[in-house]
Amino acid sequence: MVKKVLNIVVLGASGAGKTSMISQLVENRLPAVYQSAPRAISRTTIFHQKKEYECAITDTASHATYTPISPQIVIGTHAFILVYSLTSRESFDLIRVIREKLVEFCYDNVAPMVIVGSKNDLLSACVHHLAPTPTA
Which sequence spans correspond to the domains of the chain? 4-130
Whether 9 shows a pLDDT value over 60: the answer reads: yes
Residue 16: how many other CB atoms lie within 10 Å: 29
Please name the fold of domain 4-130.
Rossmann fold (3.40.50)
Taking the C-alpha atoms of residue 120 and residue 110, their distance in angstroms, rounded to an integer, is 28
Q: What does pLDDT average to over the chain?
A: 76
Q: What is the pLDDT of residues 117-134, one digit of tens each?
A: 877 655 555 555 445 555
> How many Cα neighbours within 13 Å face the side chain of 76?
8
Looking at the DSSP bridge assignments, the partners of residue 45 are 54
Q: What is the pLDDT of residues 34-86, one digit of tens each?
A: 566 556 777 888 888 888 888 888 887 665 554 556 777 777 888 899 998 88
Q: How far is CA 49 from the centre of its chain?
A: 24
The SS3 call for residue 109 is coil
Taking the C-alpha atoms of residue 15 and residue 91, their distance in angstroms, rounded to an integer, is 9
